[in-house]
Amino acid sequence: MSDDLRLVEEFRRGDSDSLEMLIEGHWKKVFNFCWRLLGNREDAEEATQRTFIAAFRNIKKFRGDSSFKTWLFSIALNECRMSRRKNHPEAALSASANDIEDTENPEDEFYDKERAALLRKALGRLPLRQRAVITLRINEELTFREIAGALQCSVNSAKVNFQHGINRLKEMMGTG
């Protein structure tokens, strides 16, 4: 049994410390996922909070068919969809400055930041499902099976959305 599954079971039995451990273990990943999809820190914080509230209100529905992390990403995606519909249907994608590695050469750093900004902008123009698949695959390093579970689609659909998204990014970036 994984640590997450053990903590879920302990929480179901009333152990509040296990809830805190689950939140601490997944908050940053869920927040980063929401931020990449919504492009706005406030919206990402709100979606992350709603994700954890929804998860723990519905913890009895978690069957363990997928990992707890995959289940959280599924909830987070739904929260991001609701947020986009409600607040910012045109929201572009953004990321923190920490997403760009430091370089020794200021000129290289400038071009890296410029390229990262162009990539974030291009990613923000992708359909939400393609953006979600790319984010989960590249940033969260989920398998296509885990992505399919999180997005409630087939493995093949996850792969197709990933490939179409990558191809569209290459076109938008002028490298494809």
DSSP 139: I
Q: What is the pTM of this model?
A: 0.68
φ and ψ of 94, to 5 deg: -140, 170
Q: Is the separation of the CB atoms in 35 and 95 below 8 Å?
A: yes
Q: Is the pLDDT of residue 49 over 90?
A: yes
Tens digit of pLDDT for each residue in 3-38?
999 999 999 898 889 989 999 999 999 999 998 888
Residue 88 has pLDDT above 80, yes or no: no
- Strand, helix or coil for residue 136: helix
The pLDDT of residue 89:
45
**Token representation of residue 40:** 């706005």
Q: Which amino acid is at 162?
A: F
* pLDDT tens by residue, 152-175: 899 999 999 999 999 999 898 887
The matching CATH number, chosen from 1.10.10.10, 3.40.50.300, 3.30.360.10, 3.40.50.10190, for 104-176 is 1.10.10.10
Question: Which pLDDT score is estimated for 99?
Answer: 37
Pairwise CA distance, residues 166 & 176, whole Å: 9
Higher pLDDT: 82 or 115? It is 82
Helices vs. strands in the chain: H and E counts, helices first: 8, 0
Please give the pLDDT value at position 167: 93
Domain definitions of the chain by residue range: 1-91, 104-176
Per-residue pLDDT reduced to its tens digit, 89-144: 444 333 333 333 333 455 555 556 677 778 888 888 899 999 999 999 998 889 99
So what's the pLDDT on residue 100?
A: 33
Residues 30 and 52: beta-carbon distance below 8 Å: yes
Please tell me whether residue 20 adopts helix, strand or coil conformation. helix
**Packing angle, helices 3-12 and 16-38, rounded to 10:** 120
Section 66-76 average pLDDT:
91
Fold annotation for 1-91: Rna Polymerase Sigma Factor; Chain: A (1.10.1740)
- Per-residue pLDDT band at 75 (split at 50, 70, 90): very high
DSSP state of 49: H
